[in-house]
């Protein structure tokens, strides 16, 4: 049962952060007038946040509501780090995507993308609010840093600006095919991260996740439906789509972090971040392989979505397949190794590997053909209602 609280008054340090936020919007190229009557709000769902710590070494104790209740500085630092990384991704995605608004295939897609960008900014607000309200000078500084970095994927970026923290959020989203892949694969990772924080021992963080997850479901739905609409339209060949999927699956898998992660283990010990299915599973946690477990659930979910996508294929189009979780990885035990799409080890020299990658990832030729596809009815039409 959900009873949401919308915060009505802000402390001065968060008010000061808002002034900086407005400057950030202009700097990164997001016109505030696009927001229309949308208002950023700080929302909490206290009911779903839980009263007692649900896992880890503090299990059974009351959840922490204020900084001074958190028993160790190392736990405070871990919470600040989690909130900062989450906030960083929220603003980064707006930086990556806003330039696409002017080339939306339909009004429905333009408004959907705009809604996503509004809500991602709200999520960033929520994280900045937690930092400014609960973590003193350290938190205020981290909240400001959220506005100082700028995604390397943002066409409106000055030299010397620091990049965003995670790889996927520095990738350029050059076109609407990338946009749908991003919302399908990367926002789906976002769902995982938010749900893992929804059981957090720091109650304001856990209570922030409910409203954010409600909004996030629209974001990944936009991606999943968008890709199916592309497949149904049948203008972009499945072979091209496959190469874009190959690109985004590996980066999505990397977002779960390293294998045998000690920081994930500590976050679990502290009760700060749980497993994706923490409340549903009765299995004891394998604390040494937390990232791997979440990554595999995510991978399975992608495979299920891929089956749905394939059902929409036109006759004669090749089946779209999931690349192996070993392919093209930059983080985890498969990084720095060479595997082909089906997970078999690659045999060949550096030149052969480069040639192989060029054949299975989006090529310059693919990019050159996209405008031609986009000039046709490349995505199933959907009307914006209301």
- Give the footprint of other proteins on this chain (CB under 8 A): 1-3, 45, 47-48, 191, 195, 198, 209-214, 217, 220-221, 224-225, 229, 380-383, 385-386
* Min dist. Cβ of residue 380 to other proteins (A): 5
> What DSSP element (H or E) covers 45?
strand 43-45
Through-space distance between the first and last CA atoms of the chain, rounded to whole angstroms: 29
> What DSSP element (H or E) covers 6?
strand 4-6
String of DSSP letters for 105-158: SSHHHHHHHHHHHHHHHHHHHHHHHHHHHHSHHHHHHHHHHHHH---TT-SS--
**Distance from C-alpha of 280 to C-alpha of 260, rounded to nearest angstrom:** 23
Residue 217 or 281 having the CB closest to other proteins? 217
Q: How far from 374 is each of 64, 104, 105, 244, 250, CA to CA, in Å?
A: 51, 10, 8, 15, 25
* Min dist. Cβ of residue 301 to other proteins (A): 9
Residue 142 or 189 having the CB closest to other proteins? 189
Q: What is the largest CA-CA distance in the chain?
A: 63
* Min dist. Cβ of residue 85 to other proteins (A): 20
Closest among 385, 309, 314, 376 to 105, alpha carbons compared: 376
* Min dist. Cβ of residue 48 to other proteins (A): 5
* Min dist. Cβ of residue 356 to other proteins (A): 34
Residue 47 or 342 having the CB closest to other proteins? 47
**Distance from C-alpha of 169 to C-alpha of 152, rounded to nearest angstrom:** 8
Residue 63 or 229 having the CB closest to other proteins? 229
Residue 229 or 275 having the CB closest to other proteins? 229
Residue 45 or 178 having the CB closest to other proteins? 45
* Min dist. Cβ of residue 112 to other proteins (A): 12
Residue 198 or 328 having the CB closest to other proteins? 198
For residue 27, is it left (φ>0), alpha (ψ between -120 and 50) or beta? alpha
* Min dist. Cβ of residue 321 to other proteins (A): 22
Q: Which 3 state secondary structure label does DSSP give 5?
A: strand
């Amino acid at each position: 049962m959900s009873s949401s609280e919308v915060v009505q008054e802000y402390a001065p340090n968060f008010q000061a952060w808002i002034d900086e936020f407005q400057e950030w919007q202009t700097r990164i190229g997001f016109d505030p007038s696009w927001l229309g009557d949308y208002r950023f709000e700080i929302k909490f769902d206290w009911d779903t946040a839980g009263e007692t710590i649900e896992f880890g070494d503090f299990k059974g104790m009351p959840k922490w509501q204020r900084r001074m209740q958190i028993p160790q500085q190392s736990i405070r630092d871990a919470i600040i780090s989690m909130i900062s990384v989450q906030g960083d991704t929220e603003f980064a995605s707006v930086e990556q995507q806003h330039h696409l608004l002017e080339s939306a295939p339909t009004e429905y897609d333009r408004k959907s993308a705009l809604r996503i960008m509004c809500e991602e900014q709200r999520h960033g607000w929520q994280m900045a609010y937690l930092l400014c309200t609960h973590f003193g000078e350290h938190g205020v500084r981290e909240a400001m840093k959220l506005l100082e970095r700028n995604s390397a994927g943002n066409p409106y970026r000055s030299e010397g600006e620091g990049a965003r923290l995670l790889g996927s959020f520095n990738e350029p989203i050059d076109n609407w095919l990338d946009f749908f892949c991003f919302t399908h694969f990367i926002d789906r990772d976002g769902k995982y991260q938010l749900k893992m924080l929804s059981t957090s021992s720091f109650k304001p963080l856990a209570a922030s996740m409910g409203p954010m997850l409600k909004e996030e479901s629209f974001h990944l739905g936009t991606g999943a439906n968008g890709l199916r609409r592309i497949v149904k339209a049948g203008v972009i060949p499945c072979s091209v789509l496959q190469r874009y999927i190959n690109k985004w699956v590996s980066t999505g898998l990397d977002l779960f972090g390293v294998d045998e992660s000690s920081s994930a283990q500590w976050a679990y010990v502290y009760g700060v971040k749980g497993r994706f299915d923490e409340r549903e599973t009765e299995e004891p946690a394998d604390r040494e392989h937390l990232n791997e477990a979440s990554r595999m659930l995510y991978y399975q979910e992608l495979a299920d979505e891929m089956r749905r996508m394939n059902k929409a294929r036109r006759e004669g189009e090749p089946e779209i397949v999931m690349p192996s979780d070993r392919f093209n990885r930059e983080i985890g035990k498969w990084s720095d190794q060479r595997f082909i799409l089906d997970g078999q080890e690659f045999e060949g020299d550096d030149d052969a590997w480069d040639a192989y990658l060029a054949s299975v990832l989006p090529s310059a030729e693919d990019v050159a053909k996209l405008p031609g596809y986009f000039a046709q009815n490349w995505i199933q039409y959907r009307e914006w209602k209301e």
